[in-house]
Structure 1
Amino acid sequence: MKIQKLAVILLLLGAPVFAVGANLPDAPHIVVSARGEVDAVPDMAQLRLQISETAKTSAPAKQSVDRRVQAVLDVAAKLGLAEEDITASQIRVFPDYQWRDGERTLLGQRVERRVDLTLRDLSRYGQLVDGLLAAGIDELGNVEFDLSRRDALLDRATERAIAEAKRQAELLAGGFGGRVKGVYHVQKMGVSAPRPERVMMAMDAKAGAAEMPVSFGTETLSVNLNAVFLLK
């Protein structure tokens, strides 16, 4: 009878967590909520470079863009970036206008090309930035610091949530003289996995990467779940 009373009390405490009609047994049981967390430091970076030039005609503008794009590709190759981690878009050419006092003035022809780089070894981040500076890139645009093993880290957080749910169930049951028979139902309530942090960076050609300290920070990935355990 003690176990049955325990099941009723814990069921009432856990009632707000489960919606009406949730999968709850008629037998004595315990409802617990648990959370598992994993802290991780980003280990990769994604850089989006917008390389552009405006000139009176498109030919010299394209030559300037082509030269800097090739320099970026050379830097990436020197650092050993894989081909799939380097993406260069098609060239865009369009008139570049300036608006002043409601009037439009043609400045020339603008040529743009975007290059995306994925760096999977952040220990070489400084070398990459210095190489881009030497290539004539003075603004990185969006830099995203991410986790290459995000799925595996979420699995680890799930394992910790499961272990915590079992610990709580055994502690509660044992405290009232009962024992856990086994799990009856598990409901994953939510996953918190912050997406990559975007950083806007402008670079000074007179200052190397060593003078531009960057903190990659720490991300916390978490998993929440509810579990129903049957009691003996």
Structure 2
Amino acid sequence: MRRLPTAPSLAPAFLALALGTAFLPLSPFSATVASAQEARTPREPIISVSGEGKAAVAPDMAILSLAVVRQAKTADAAVSANNTAMSEVLAAIKAEGIADRDVQTSSFAIYPQYRQVAPKDGIEPPQEIIGYEVSNTLTLKVRDLEKLGGLIDKTVKLGVNQGGQIEFTNTNTDEVMTQARKAAVAEALAKAKTLTEAAGVKLGRIMEISENSAPPMAPPMMRMTMAKDSGNGVPVAAGETSYTVNVNVVFSIDP
């Protein structure tokens, strides 16, 4: 008897299909469902406040800017005249006990001096150079403030004829900055307590805190007109330097 061919078994195909289905990646719909579930998760209530703290202290150092400016018909002559005057100024500064590390040349510049020539036949000719100006600026750190007025007076008499800006500061600001930080955090905490009490909720733990320190608020920078008749000493008032710290604090809100 003739045997009919046996039909191929479908079991391996079904098994392969089942395995393939088991390892299919998540569809976009599944990811959307997961995101929606995460979005429905309740977020911990928080309160964010800021605080500012200030502390002031008498300065113990002054940063002084002094400049020697000289003019001449040629650049070489202007530089030579400037160098002579600046050498005397530097010698006087050293004689006052200012250390070399506290004296720095902050700028040196040569500027041509021009004269406008009258137009001729409706044509305006180029300007003519009639001389040169040389400026040499020093920046000093004066650590003994009692010497400041006399130092300014002496350098003016020796040739300083521009500048006079004074910035008062402190060599060590650790203690005053600590005071400002404490004041800033205290202000932020007081704000948070006021807000939560007004809202009828309880203030929780600190979750995040950050600081932003502002530059020191020194007394207004002084700019003095340099003159030969400055007297025995320039009167200088140091006042106080104020330091500011800003903080941002995030608290949790307890149920």
TM-score, length of structure 1 as denominator length: 0.65
Of 116, 121, 138, 1:115 maps to 138
CA contact (8 A) 1:183 1:230 kept: no
Deviation at 1:125, TM superposition (A): 0.8
Counterpart CA distance in 1 for 2:56 and 2:62 is: 18
Q: Secondary structure at 2:81's aligned position in 1?
A: helix
Partner residue, 1:204: 227
Q: Which moved more, 1:34-43 or 1:121-130?
A: 34-43
Of 157, 177, 181, 1:158 maps to 181
Counterpart CA distance in 2 for 1:62 and 1:214 is: 32
* Higher-Rg member (1/2): 2
Aligned-partner residue type, residue 69 of structure 1: M
Q: Higher strand fraction: Structure 1 or Structure 2?
A: 1
Partner residue, 1:218: 240
Counterpart CA distance in 2 for 1:121 and 1:182 is: 47
Aligned-partner residue type, residue 202 of structure 1: T
Q: Say how many residue pairs are matched.
A: 206
Deviation at 1:160, TM superposition (A): 2.8
Unaligned stretches of 5+ residues in structure 2: 1-42, 120-124
Distance of aligned partners of 1:133 and 1:161 in 2 relative to their CA distance in 1, 3 Å threshold: same
CA contact (8 A) 1:184 1:230 kept: no
Deviation at 1:218, TM superposition (A): 3.2
Aligned-partner residue type, residue 200 of structure 1: R
Counterpart CA distance in 2 for 1:207 and 1:132 is: 10
Partner residue, 1:40: 57
Q: Secondary structure at 1:200's aligned position in 2?
A: coil
Asked if 1:65 is matched to 2:82, the reply is yes
Deviation at 1:38, TM superposition (A): 0.3
Identity %: 26
- 1:99-145 Cα offsets, whole Å, 9 max, x none, are 47677443323333222222122221112112212212133243333
Alignment root-mean-square deviation, CA: 3.9
Aligned-partner residue type, residue 87 of structure 2: Q
Counterpart CA distance in 2 for 1:31 and 1:56 is: 66
Aligned-partner residue type, residue 65 of structure 2: R
Partner residue, 2:102: 85
Counterpart CA distance in 1 for 2:191 and 2:169 is: 33
- 1:48-102 Cα offsets, whole Å, 9 max, x none, are 3332222233444333211211112112212222222111368544532234767
Distance of aligned partners of 1:136 and 1:168 in 2 relative to their CA distance in 1, 3 Å threshold: same
Aligned-partner residue type, residue 63 of structure 1: S
Unaligned stretches of 5+ residues in structure 1: 1-24
CA contact (8 A) 2:168 2:241 kept: no
Counterpart CA distance in 2 for 1:153 and 1:99 is: 56
CA contact (8 A) 1:185 1:229 kept: no
TM-score, length of structure 2 as denominator length: 0.61
